[in-house]
Amino acid sequence: MIDEEVSAVVLAVIVVIGVFSVSQAFLAGVVVEPFSELAVLGPNQKIGDYPKNLTAGENFTLYLYVGNHEGKAMYYRVYVKLGDQSSIINETTPLDALPMAQYETILSHDQTWLEPITLHIDEPGINYRLVFELWAYKSEESIFTYHGRWNQIWLNVTSSVG
């Protein structure tokens, strides 16, 4: 009787290990929750050290960071747009403004991209909303679509002296 119980337990452990091993082989390389990353870093490549006050026409440098965890190669485009306090943007709706700049990259799965960008704003204004939107290329449709990832920084731009 004891031998039968021990055999049953050993057999159950072997079955569990076998099922686990087979499932791991089938699931290897499968991304359970695919996602993409977008970040904007300040001139020192850190979150939060953004310029806040600029002079109209003055160049400033930021860094774009994009990460691909989609489980496949991705072709990304980042639009930089200028809005204000009343501008609306969210995960489903991109900012209704023309891009002032755009940047593109192709990334393999688990690859990241960090790129310095130099921008300037020509018109003075208070509480400008500098928006960065991530778009992804849909090969089935041959178009870029808004990927629902966005960042923003707030800026005040004063008139240039002269």
Spans of all domains in the chain: 1-30, 35-158
pLDDT greater than 70 at residue 132: yes
Sorting pLDDT into bands at 50, 70 and 90, what band is 20? low
Q: What is the pLDDT of residue 119?
A: 97
Mean pLDDT, to the nearest integer, of 4-27? 62
pLDDT digits (tens, 9 = 90+) for 50-62: 999 999 999 999 9
Tell me what the pLDDT averaged over the chain comes to.
88
Residue that has been written with the tokens 């300040």 in this structure: 42
The answer to whether the beta carbons of residues 38 and 47 sit under 8 Å apart is no
SS (H, E, C) the chain: CHHHHHHHHHHHHHHHHHHHHHHHHHHCCCCCCCEEEEEEECCCCCCCCCCCEEECCCCEEEEEEEEEECCCCEEEEEEEEEECCCCCCCCCCCCCCCEEEEEEEEECCCCEEEEEEEECCCCCEEEEEEEEEEEEEECCCCEEEEEEEEEEEEEEEECCCC
Q: Residue 23 — very low, low, confident or very high, per pLDDT cuts 50/70/90?
A: low
Query: How many whole angstroms separate alpha carbon 17 and alpha carbon 11?
Result: 10
Give the pLDDT score at 118: 97
79-109 pLDDT, tens per residue? Answer: 999 999 888 888 899 999 999 999 999 999 9
Overall average pLDDT of the 131-145 stretch = 95
pLDDT over threshold 80, residue 19? no
Class at the top of the CATH hierarchy for domain 35-158: mainly beta
> In what side-by-side order are the strands of the sheet with 35-41?
35-41, 60-69, 112-119
Whether residue 126 has pLDDT greater than 90: yes
